[in-house]
Amino acid sequence: MTVIEDPAAPIAIPTRDEAKIARRERLRLLGRSPTFVLGSLLLGVWVVCAIFGTLIAPHDPSADDVLNKLAAPSADHLFGSDRLGRDVLSRVIVGAREILITAPLATILGTVVGTAIGLVTGYYRGLVDEVVMRVVDAMLAVPVIVLALLAIVALGPSRVTLVLVIGTVFGMIIAKTVRAAVLSERELEYVQAARLRNERSPYILFAEILPNVMGPIVVEFTVRLGYAIFTIATLAFLGFGADPSIPDWGHDISEHYQFISAGVWWAVLFPSLAIATLIIGINLMADAIAQTFER
């Protein structure tokens, strides 16, 4: 945000220093929030696994061991082994990588697209707004997972399809949130002032309004990141993941839940807990971030 020296500018605009102070204050609050600290610890563990997975893993996650199929947890295989004798612990550690690449990419795509659509439709209103919002409503009448299934059947499963589909659907949802925020911002004095100063529309949209709706966007981003992981893991469980040869929690669970009745709990429990802790971690962070913006 630029410092505005114009004497006609309303005092309500926070100067750069004030914005910085507000941001620092929020960070301080986050550091003291137990939910945020717990959430980032959980996420941190999985980020470390995603980056250094192959170095930490005690075994090769793809190495079969036919003599040790579905072996219960032991000193050598802490989490047991799966139907091909692969080490479950290693697969859980390495499995973090794939989802922590696709989910953030899809969320970033959704946030950028959604913010752009929300800013434009909320600021200009009119026919474009009306049409875009109807299309958004139509798409949101069907659950994300069903839309994703339809799109993957049509386009074929791949990492690109996954990111594009989830990014697009999340873009719609984020567009609605951003639009709602822009609708109330555009009536405020600083926007009127910018218009009177004859600023160009792109400048008003991105330099004036955007910084002031960053709060909802940041909150949406964290919440959507959790849902992106939710959706991608679910699609992998349903057999529509990007690549079955890469260790993946959802896919591993779908391959082993038929063995539950035979008493094989380790091959499904540990990947399940991995997905749960990752998503819960991100949502705890999202909850804490939302609270700092509500103050």
Partner 1 sequence: MARFLLKRLGLAAITLFLLSVIVFVGASILPGNVARRILGPFADQAAVDALNERLGTDRSLLTQYWDWISGFFQGDLGDSHALNVPVSELIGNALGNSVKLAVFAFVLVVPLAIFGGVVAALRRDTLTDRVVTIGGLTLSVVPEFVSGIILILVFGLWLDVLPVSARAPAGSGFLTQLEYLLLPALTLVVLLFGYIARITRAGAIEALDADYTRTAVLKGLPRRTVIRRHVLRNSLLPTIAVVATQTGYLIGGLVVIETLFNYPGLGRLIFTAATQKDLPVLESAVLIVGIVFLVAMLLADLAYSLLNPRIRHAGAE
Contact set with partner 1 (CB under 8 A): 35, 134-135, 137-147, 149-155, 226-227, 230, 233-234, 237-240, 250, 253-254, 257, 260-261, 263, 265, 268-269, 272, 275-276, 279-280, 283-284, 287
Which residue's CB is nearer to partner 1, number 209 or number 236? 236
Looking up tokens 């970033």 gives: 108
Q: Shortest distance, CB of residue 135 to partner 1, whole angstroms? A: 6
- Confirm if 241 and 157 have CB atoms less than 8 A apart: yes
The least CB distance from residue 211 to partner 1, in Å, is: 29
CB of 234 to partner 1, least distance (A): 5
Cβ proximity to partner 1: between 205 and 285 the closer is 285
Radius of gyration in angstroms for the set of CA atoms belonging to the chain, rounded to a whole number? 23
- 57 membership: H or E segment, kind and range: none
Residue 199 or 257: the one with the smaller Cβ distance to partner 1 is 257
Q: What are φ and ψ of residue 188, in 5° steps?
A: -75, 165
- Give the CA distances from residue 130 to residues 20, 133, 135, 138, 143, in Å, rounded to whole numbers and listed in that order: 37, 5, 9, 12, 22
The nearer residue to partner 1, 27 or 153, going by C-beta atoms, is: 153
- Cβ–Cβ under 8 Å, residues 231 and 144: yes
Least distance between partner 1 and beta carbon 190 (Å): 27
d(CA 295, CA 287): 13
Number of neighbours of residue 1 by Cβ within 10 angstroms = 15
Least distance from C-beta 237 to partner 1, angstroms?
Answer: 5
Nearer CB in complex with partner 1: 13/235:
235
Written as one letter, the residue type at 70 is L
Contact status, residue 56 vs residue 97, Cβ threshold 8 Å? no
For the CB of residue 47, give the shortest distance to partner 1 in the complex, in Å: 18
Residue (47 or 149) nearer to partner 1, CB: 149
Report DSSP state, residue 273: H
